[in-house]
Amino acid sequence: MAPTSETANGGRRLVIVESPAKAKTIKGYLGPGYVVEASVGHIRDLPNGAAEVPAKYKGQPWARLGVNVDEGFQPLYVVNSDKKDQVRKLKELLADSDELFLATDEDREGEAIAWHLKEVLKPTVPVRRMVFHEITRDAIRAAVNNPRELNQLLVDAQETRRILDRLYGYEVSPVLWKKVMPRLSAGRVQSVATRLVVERERERIAFRSAEYWDLTGTFATVPEDGTFDARLASVAGRRVAQGRDFGPDGRLKNPDQVEHLSEESARALAAALAGTSFAVRSVESKPYRRSPYAPFRTTTLQQEASRKLGMGAKSTMQVAQRLYENGFITYMRTDSTTLSDTAVSAARAQVAQLYGADYVPDRPRVYASKVKNAQEAHEAIRPSGDRFRTPAETGLTGDQFRLYELIWKRTVASQMKDAVGQSVVVRVGGTAADGRDCEFSATGKVITFHGFLKAYVEGSDDPAAELDDRERRLPRVAEGDRLDARAMSVDGHATKPPARYTEATLVKELEEREIGRPSTYASIIGTILDRGYVFKKGTALVPSFLSFAVTNLLEQHFGRLVDYDFTAKMEDDLDRIATGDAQAVPWLRRFYFGDAIEGAGDVSVEAAGEASGDGGDHLAGLKELVTDLGAIDAREISSFPVGDGIVLRVGRYGPYVEGPAEPAAEGADTGEGGAAGQTGEGGTREAKRADVPADLPPDELTVELARELLAKPSGDFELGTDPATGHQIVARDGRYGPYVTEVLPEPEGAAKGGRGRTAKAGKGAAKPRTASLLKSMSLDSVTLDDALRLLALPRVVGTDPESGQEITAQNGRYGPYLKRGTDSRSLEREEQLFTVTLEEALRLYAQPKARGRAAAKPPLKELGDDPVTGRPVVVKDGRFGPYVTDGETNATLRRDDDPETITAERGYELLAEKRAKGPAKKTAKKAPAKKAAAKTAAKKSTAKSAAKKTTSKTAAKKSPAKKTSARKSSGPSDE
């Protein structure tokens, strides 16, 4: 590249990109005269909690939102605390530069990052917007020489989305905290995505299976003796019922139009067909043609990576990001299926080189985008450059190699000829012994020219589906040919409930409903998995019982916000704002305040009146909806009938089933209070409860299973009386595992009820002894002797004759150990707590103390070599639970990952996600406080603080805005 006038005269240009990896690649293409630095994503955003709100705004009623809803929805932006050092560095680099190039991604988010950089850095030198769709030498040089100005419409569109998502998340999430469970979140797209998964599970719960049977005949031609299978299609002119003929209730949709075969009738028909003469009644042949699939865009890449590579949407985008930043593919967040002329030429040349000129079509193929309001003018996702590198030429390994190969194959195949052939339908008929006419049908497909199928065959969401390159050859037959029936098999089938969503099918569903933006789907799915609304069972997305409660509340009291059509219309409105056809402030005012505000605007969100059920007369705004919470019955929205009086409830500590209340035994105490199983007002025994496993799919909770759970022993297991104290000893299953404890007698005058004074003791009162069960013990087998031994811990082993210190055996958080003063030594087995002698203890202390970590435990499972690092990957049991590791990177297993059944692909995916996050950030240690000054200050302030206590309490009640720090984790940063 010839140097421009600035570089020729010794000037320096500062180029700011988003990621360090991208900066490193681009720096190599620009050379001297350019400084390339990363912003590392967004440098500023809305405040994330009360601590980030500047002092001058803290008293404002809107400060907790970070958006001034009373003054044109002005956002309050603050520089992220972890980006202040980077901003300082960028300012220093800018001070020595003659020109600034903002080279962030060319989408709404990238445009917004560029705008924020300009606003924060306040450059006094010329500012250029540098855009490119691939990171190659030619593309980067062309981008430097052809800059443009910032697109303010894209910035406004991103800002409107950000404000909308903040209002939604920060206003609706606290409702979930109050009515369902703390630390939950709601979001414009995540809540709708969760509802989709929940509705599919509801369909599965309501589904009733139907049984149907059919016949498959094996026929042989005469005299060639070629055989083929054909399925029974009709009996006496009526089509034989198949799975599609049944409704979700298990009944036939049109019973008068089909023949429903039971096992008995199917076997009788097979017997009646024995010895029947069959002949070919018709042969229908027609041309088969299949055109190539369009090049990848964001969602189709995620779907195919899920089907073919077993990669989740989030992992796919992380790997694609690395491929893009290192110059292997074009930009991976795109709605477009268009290829540039350069890419088309490269693809056609490679087709000719690898497959021959016969596979190159006469004219380049052009693909029109099917995505409504495709937001940016990117290309499809393809290999970068004007000549595509084959996968073998890239030097890539692991997931990057596999994903690049997928993209490369799809791109090359998109510029190849159609696959052509013949499809054939053969109908075979005969008359059964009982006089009924029976007709069988067989289909075949022969591909005479594979065309693009030589390079690429698309996967299917249905594992049983036949792929495009599958051939089914039938022997040559003609109408009237006689056939021999070699065999007649009877086959039974049962209708299946609708399949659960996978990441691929959920992405597809969201896109087809035009909900959200394709570029955000990976983060949306990640959010609903992380929040515990959904967990994985294999590749299926299973809703948790918690998600049922959340969806129930949102549907009943915020129906418009999770209505599919309304959410899609909001997307249309946001696109109109992006194109300048609508204004952001009137739209936000109407969404937040409703139509009570004069001049609310005329965007299509008005149509939401129908979705909200208000007939369109009044559109309640978000503020009104979250203000009136009196109608929300927290118990009702978290309760779901199972059957026979059994109800599933979602509590603060997880799901449980509750059986119907039983009459109290004659003479039972009917005083108030008590735990489950005690008697309450009215002389009835409280309903029995039992925890439900958190990973139980909701459609598997039947009445029978609920009864089994309720039948299991629960509450206190009375073990007997401690002969030394006379106190009752019980075993319980607690929140942190099974334990034993003693029940202390109630002091005189204390209120009765409950489990006795075992959970909490009043100030100054004696506390009950408590001890966790050993790993070798269980609730149903622990004895009184076991409990007394546990409660006697710590056990005095003896006194060290040299130091005079007492040695005790104790059971701790990390297992059994000995303690002598501050010196601790681990024991190998739990039984040693009761058997270790002083002599054995002294021998243990005489050995040098092991430094650092204890001896490593053997791996739980070996998964194989990581495709990225080449290191062996194993599953281990760590301090915080099971995890996968390749010796360098550790990744904790998620809740739905079973250490015994986890696949190698899942392990590699977890490690890839962890590596993509980068090393954990170290928190700077705070300087120690000056004790002397602190003590003096404390003494001086004692009298003042005592006088201010009452005033502070009153003020705290009057200032709800000061509770904003709890919102730090509530509002999602995306949709």
Cα(364)–Cα(386) distance, rounded to whole angstroms? 16
Cα(36)–Cα(22) distance, rounded to whole angstroms? 9
Residue written as token pair 């924060």: 120
SS3 of 353-402: the string is HHHCHHHCCCCCCCCCCCCCCCCCCCCCECECCCCCCCHHHHCCCHHHHH
- Residues with Cβ within 8 Å of residue 560, at least 6 apart in sequence: 566, 608, 611, 612
CA distances from 49 to 77, 171, 176, 792 (A): 12, 14, 18, 47
Three-state SS for 423? strand
The number of CA neighbours under 13 Å toward the Cβ of 758 is: 21
382: exposed, middle or buried (Cβ count in 10 Å: 0-12, 13-18, 19+): buried
Q: Which amino acid is at 929?
A: A
Cα(189)–Cα(543) distance, rounded to whole angstroms? 16
Report which secondary-structure segment, H or E, holds 123.
none
Q: How far is CA 356 from the centre of its chain?
A: 44
**Hey, CA dihedral for 837, 842, 848, 853, is it positive or negative?**
positive
Cα(548)–Cα(552) distance, rounded to whole angstroms? 6
Identify the bridge partners of residue 234 per DSSP, sorted by sequence position. 239, 439
- Among candidate residues 331, 501, 592, 908, the one labeled active-site is 331
Residue 505 in contact with residue 214, Cβ under 8 Å? Answer: no
Angle at CA 691, nearest 5°, toward 688 and 695? 155
**Hey, CA dihedral for 97, 99, 101, 102, is it positive or negative?**
positive
Within 10 Å of residue 973's Cβ, how many Cβ atoms? 15
3-state helix, strand, coil in the chain (%, to 5): 35, 20, 40
Q: How far is CA 586 from the centre of its chain?
A: 34
Phi, psi at 884, each rounded to 5°: -105, 145
Report which secondary-structure segment, H or E, holds 8.
helix 5-8
The two tokens of residue 353 are 């080189």
Residue written as token pair 């029978």: 704
Three-state SS for 244? helix
923: exposed, middle or buried (Cβ count in 10 Å: 0-12, 13-18, 19+): exposed
Q: How far is CA 699 from the centre of its chain?
A: 20
CA distances from 842 to 231, 240, 559, 810 (A): 81, 83, 70, 16
Told to judge if 331 belongs to the known catalytic residues of this protein, a careful annotator would answer yes
Identify the bridge partners of residue 37 per DSSP, sorted by sequence position. 16
Active-site positions read 331
